[in-house]
Amino acid sequence: MRWIIVYFILIFSNTVSAKEWKSLRVYQKETQREKLLPSDWLKRDRIKNTLVWQEANVFNLKNNLSREYKNISQRRDFYKWFFYELNKKGHDVVWVQMAYFISKKMHLMEIFPYSIFSKKEVKTYARQGSELVFNNAFEELQKLYNSKLVLKTDKATVWDRAILKKEQYEWIDRIYKTMNAKSLKTLKRIAKGKCLYGLFLPRAIRFKGDLSKAETRYKYAIEVLKPYCKNRYK
């Protein structure tokens, strides 16, 4: 009797927990469903930006399902899809491009050969930061996606500044305040492109100042990273 209960718990948890699936065969085997739920997608859908991936993103936005994106690469590709959607609508906001760019750089720490230079603790902080920012920003992105008002010039700047302030003074600051000194030192070296960490960042956007201070990070985001990403992802 116990194994029957466990079996149904597993089936139920897989059914209600949307996520990326390795293949349709795996999905069908684990969920006992023939077709993907609206919130689900296959890995190849995300990589190839198929209609399934796009529709899952729209569904998850409408239902505020940020936690269905489980890792940095999935969030990175969501940001990429989202800023193309904003561009089609005519928005001038840049924060989403910035989030995409940063996610691309953070993902490098997880793959060879860059992973060799990244310590385990730093990777953990990067994953925590990615998740924290994404989950907190998701509702703001939902509002922007559903808005009939197209944010241009000054209004787009106001939106970017507001979300950057939340990101640096509230969301990310929580992680910096719990970070040990050794990991903070490593992150500073990465942000400033010291030694081999120069492979991560172009010289034009290497960080200057005290990385542990929210005010300095915010100023860097506005004055350095935003113009760089705006120009890069025209």
122 pLDDT tier (thresholds 50, 70, 90)? confident
Residue 11 has pLDDT above 60, yes or no: no
Rounded Cα–Cα distance for residues 118 and 62 (Å): 36
Residue 2 has pLDDT above 60, yes or no: no
Whole-number pLDDT of residue 63: 95
Whole-number pLDDT of residue 186: 86
Residue 34 has pLDDT above 60, yes or no: yes
Domain limits of the chain?
Answer: 1-68, 75-232
Residue 4 has pLDDT above 50, yes or no: no
Stretch 81-92: mean pLDDT, rounded? 96
Whole-number pLDDT of residue 170: 96
pLDDT tens per residue, range 154-204: 999 999 999 999 999 999 999 999 999 998 998 888 888 886 666 778 889
Q: What percent of the chain has pLDDT over 90?
A: 72
Stretch 126-148: mean pLDDT, rounded? 96
Whole-number pLDDT of residue 115: 62
Question: pLDDT averaged over the chain?
Answer: 89
Whole-number pLDDT of residue 7: 36
